[in-house]
Amino acid sequence: MKKVTPFLMFQDGNAEEAMNFYTSLMEDSHITKIVRYGANEAGEEGTVMQAVFTLKGQEFMCIDSNIKHPFSFTPSFSIFLTCNSEKEIVNLYEKLLEDGQALMPLDEYGFSKKFGWLNDRFGVSWQLNLP
């Protein structure tokens, strides 16, 4: 086994939009590779057949699923971010929460100086922590 890579499956054709959004929020983050569906292929032309992006050095893969599944993202699997400052955690929480859903509002919960858990507008779950 070479490595373990988190994999995100988007069902609404918004994998590229999500990658652009996520990589714009964090320094040292970028899209590494995008392979798109072409004409007469299994997926909608131009959508993401497979892509790779990194957030602060952590590699992720994602696709736009050409099959509608009866499931989507769940908060039981989330991306956990350890922030360096109050300003950073508040900024990230507010941007990720836009058109999303707060699961645990940004607050002090005893186990952390500041913590928040949310689902973003794409349905991906994030935990933000300021130790």
What is the CA angle 115-102-114, rounded to 5?
Answer: 10
**Contacts for 43-52: CB closer than 8 Å, 24+ residues apart:** 44/13, 47/13, 47/15, 47/16, 48/10, 48/15, 48/16, 51/15, 51/16, 51/19
The DSSP symbol for 40 reads: T
Residue 97: pLDDT band with limits 50, 70, 90: very high
State pLDDT tens for residues 52-90: 999 999 999 999 999 999 999 999 999 999 999 999 999
pTM metric for this prediction: 0.94
